[in-house]
Structures are given as structure tokens and as C-alpha cells.
Amino acid sequence: MAEGKGYGKCILFNEHFVVYGIPSIVSAISDATVAIAEKTDSGGIQLIDNRPATPGYKEEKKEHQEDSLRRILGAMDISMNANLRITLKGDLFAASGVGASAASCTAIARTLNQLFDMGLDDDRINEIAYEGEKGYHGTPSGVDNTASTYGGMIWFVKGEPNTFDLMKIPQPVEIVMGNTGTVANTKAAVAGVKERREKNPEEYDKIFSRARNIAYDARKALESSDLKEVGRLMNVNHQLLQKIEVSNGDLDALVETARKAGAFGAKMTGGGLGGYMVALTPGESLQEKVSKAIKKKGFSVLKTKIGV
């Protein structure tokens, strides 16, 4: 029997803008998916998914998950006829916006690496997790699996090749992630931005320019632990995401609730049109206060940390 872990993630700045070469800041969170693998005498390859999840999430992603597992096994030269049982569990809620698929890909790659004593390093685990992510996203950016594998905080720029720069912040910081309970359709959101940008190039160029500046200001604020400024920039980033129409009513309501409860800043995170929002809540007392305010509205929350 073997065990492997993959961290969840939170996009702090510039989801969607990242598709167009604008820097994004992404952090691993302390919640993780754990995969346990064991060899069996028969039964072929069994995948048992015991992760906590948004209702309907696992059912909706089942075909993607099966494709992902095939890709991981192929990348690791493990026969599809092997007798294996892989069980997924952990404290990362399987939902849109927290890197749930990448966390499971990383965890599976790590547990199989251990079970078969392959001796693969993190760089290779990350490559395998990326292959697994293709089953879910077609052409993933690679940022989710990188955060899931290495932890910490990442400055990411999409390009040829992609740029991954591990950032250093003084210490982990508490956040609250509020879950709309809706499984986000990231492909639809991305396609919508592309269509609207083509119709309104001048307006969108201004928005995209502001998003680029925010990324550099946010990096400076994070690395110097100026959390008030980080929060302010998160608020501005959310406004830009509203302007490109990837937020929705539930996300906006959760953002407003978090801010009124004292969060330093709050914004949607991930694909948008559902999924999660994130609030910056340094210190356990503020984290608890914001968490309670969101729960009072009838939404579930994830209390976790960035920069782990």
C-alpha cells in the first residue's frame, strides 16, 4: 500500500486574463487530496472516489476522471490490465475553482510512484500530473498541477514556454473560500471572454492593461506582506473580472458579504460563473468571522491558508 498527496489551489489574481499572456498569481492551499494505492489479486484498475464534493461534481467529471487516469497510467508505463485499487480522500472539497482535478492527478502520480518504487522526482510528478490534467481540461495551462505538486505561491505567465516563478512570502496567510455550490463551466466562460473581446477590442485592451499592472503591484505587496494592499488589489481585480462578465450574482453576493464582515479583500477565483470566491482574512479570528457571515447566507466555506 502507498500514499500520495496533492495540494488544492487558489488563483489570487488574473484568472481569464492569464489566457492572453498577462501574469497570474496562484497559491497552493493547505487543503489536499490524498490517494492510496494498493495492488490487488483481480478486478483490474479500480478508482474509488471518497473525496467530499459539491453535489453532482463527481458525476459530472466521471468521464474526464477516467480519461485522466488512463493518461497518468500511460505516462508512467503502467499497464491498463494491472490489478490496482486507488482510493481518493483528503480534506480538499472536490469543486470548481480549487484545483481539485490537479490535486487528484498529483496525488495519484505520487502514490503510484511510491507503490511501484519508481523513484521519480517532483519535476517528473508534475509532468505526469499535467498529462492527467489533459483529461479534464484538454489544453491546461499547467499552473494548477504545478501548485499542487510544489506548494507555495507561483507567478505564472502563459507563453512559449510558460513561465513558472516560485514566489516567497513571509508566512502563510488565512483565507476563506466561499462555495456557490455551482459546478463552473470554464470552457464556456473562456469562450465568452474571447467573443466579447473580439467585439470590443479597445475597451478590453484597457481592462487587460489594468490587469497586467495589478499583477506586478500584487506581487510586490505579497512579498512585502502588505496585506491591506493585497486586499485592495483583489477588490479591483474582481471589478475587472465583472467587466469581462465572468462573475455572477452568487459570486458577487459572497464577495460583498466577505467584505462587509471585514475581509481585507475578496474576489471570485477560478473559472467563474460559479465555483468559488476567495476572501483575504489574516488571523484566525477574522477568518472565523468572515466564514460565519458566509455560512449565514447558506453557502459552504473552506477555511484554509495560502503560501503553504
Residue 13: CATH number of its domain:
3.30.230.10
**Same domain as 146, residue 286:** no
Residue 236: CATH number of its domain:
3.30.70.890
**Same domain as 136, residue 56:** yes
Handedness of CA 51, 57, 62, 67 (dihedral sign): negative
pLDDT of residue 183: 76
**Same domain as 262, residue 194:** yes
pLDDT digits (tens, 9 = 90+) for 179-206: 998 877 777 888 899 999 999 999 999 9
Q: Domain boundary residue among 148, 167, 186?
A: 167
pLDDT of residue 275: 86
**Same domain as 140, residue 49:** yes
Cα–Cα distance, 308 to 305 (Å, whole number): 7
pLDDT of residue 256: 98
**Same domain as 264, residue 140:** no
pLDDT digits (tens, 9 = 90+) for 3-38: 999 999 999 999 999 989 999 999 999 999 999 999
pLDDT of residue 272: 87
Q: Tell me which residue has cell 471585514.
A: 262
Q: Is 115 helix (H, G, I), strand (E, B) or coil?
A: helix
**Same domain as 262, residue 160:** no
Give pTM, 2 decimals. Answer: 0.88
**Same domain as 178, residue 162:** no
**Same domain as 159, residue 183:** no
Q: For the chain, what is the domain count?
A: 2
Q: Which domain holds residue 268?
A: 173-306
Q: Domain boundary residue among 167, 190, 206?
A: 167
pLDDT of residue 259: 98
Could you tell me whether strands 2-13 and 24-39 are parallel, antiparallel, or unpaired per DSSP bridges?
antiparallel
Q: Domain boundary residue among 113, 138, 167?
A: 167
